[in-house]
Structure 1
Amino acid sequence: MHDTSPPSDWLVRWAHVLPPAARVLDLACGRGRHTKWLAARGCRLTAVDRDAAAAEPLAHVAEVVIADIEGGPWPLPGRRFDAVIVTNYLWRPLWREIGEAVAPGGWLLYETFSAGHERIGRPSRPDFVLQPGELLRVSQTLGLDVVAYESGQLSEPVRIVQRVIARRPAPAPEAGAPPLFGSPPAGG
């Protein structure tokens, strides 16, 4: 089955922060709407999902990893990415692994269902919807600098979400390294 769903408007809005040829992890990628969209923009993708039938067709644009990330071990130990993308998925026991997968200077773009969504439809179980402000707090706990955070109702389809873009701080420049912004002042 071919997914023709457009990418998340949150991802589209923030994709400009990704460096050229960024290494991107699309976690719980499903049929790969974000994998395909980012690959078409020159990113190098790793797509992870437990549904082989949905994810394997992405092999022509991404490294595909079939894994049960809820019931098995983390499939990418020690791997770091310029960006980690997660949409419409929540499994709290993976917070640490998701945070560790964001390389220094890298980005987390996360969007999923929030409390209140249960009045609209599925998911409705508390295990699968964020509590108020939870995504913001978790991002900060993971040591990420939050650049933008939104919480509220979206349309088409109607849903209640939280979404964040956050960056792992880059290491400080080494002593004697050239300045990041122009030359040092004269005599300094």
Structure 2
Amino acid sequence: MQEKKLKLEAASRLITENQVIDQLDMGEVLDLACGSGRNGLWFADKGHKVTFIDKSMANLNVPSEPHSDSKPTDHTYLTWDLEDGSAPELESNKYDLVLVFNYLHRPLFSQIAAAVKPGGLIIYETFIQKQAQIGRPKNPKFLLKSNELKSEFEKWSVLHYFEGEVMNGLNLSYKAQLIARKPSC
């Protein structure tokens, strides 16, 4: 059972198997709606300074002994409910990379885009409408329409875009994936 849990906690293959990410300079990373933090922790392990944001940090897996020179205290942990209007706006032009996985709150698209520094990256992966045919989420509020994610970042340089079946171990889901670079000017 422990082995299965470790596999589920591994960072997304969209991050771990991507050459663009391998060439990323050290910088500031935002893991938005971070959940267990698996993706942000992967970057923290590589030496990046990570800001974790979620409405609860109860599921965040902060290692007691980091695998690299970074320490849990080097990072920022913000308990913000991004949907109820109580959270402050994301700081503009702050992050070299913004990560969003399995989360969709459309009113945040403009804040997310503004939070990325010019020349910085966004990595976004979440569910598309076809997901409702096989499981959760089913609510259209949490499901992207066809090409919706790509069109939200249409003025950015798209380095990777995909919509369709994604396998995570034995689990099938339908998702959109985007890696895009914000224009420098």
Q: Same fold (TM over 0.5)?
A: yes
Q: Which amino acid aligns with 1:26?
A: D
Aligned residue number for residue 184 of structure 1: none
Q: Which amino acid aligns with 2:22?
A: H
Question: Do 1:24 and 1:45's aligned partners in 2 also have CA atoms closer than 8 Å?
Answer: yes
Partner of residue 23 from structure 1, selected from 23, 28, 39: 28
Counterpart CA distance in 1 for 2:141 and 2:175 is 14
**RMSD of the alignment, in Å?**
2.0
2:101 equivalent to 1:97: no
Q: Which amino acid aligns with 2:50?
A: L
2:144 equivalent to 1:144: no
Residue identity (%): 33
Question: Do 2:36 and 2:60's aligned partners in 1 also have CA atoms closer than 8 Å?
Answer: yes
**SS of aligned partner of 1:52:** coil
Q: Structure 1 unaligned runs (5+)?
A: 172-188
Counterpart CA distance in 2 for 1:51 and 1:39 is 19
Counterpart CA distance in 2 for 1:162 and 1:78 is 25
User: TM-score, normalised to structure 1's length?
Assistant: 0.82
Q: Kindly state the Cα deviation for residue 148 of structure 1 after the two structures are TM-superposed.
A: 1.3
Partner of residue 87 from structure 2, selected from 54, 73, 89: 73
**SS of aligned partner of 1:89:** coil
Distance 1:162 1:80, change over 3 A: same
Counterpart CA distance in 1 for 2:61 and 2:17 is 27
Question: Do 1:55 and 1:66's aligned partners in 2 also have CA atoms closer than 8 Å?
Answer: no
Partner of residue 41 from structure 2, selected from 36, 43, 56: 36
Distance 1:34 1:61, change over 3 A: farther
User: TM-score, normalised to structure 2's length?
Assistant: 0.83
Partner of residue 121 from structure 2, selected from 75, 85, 107: 107
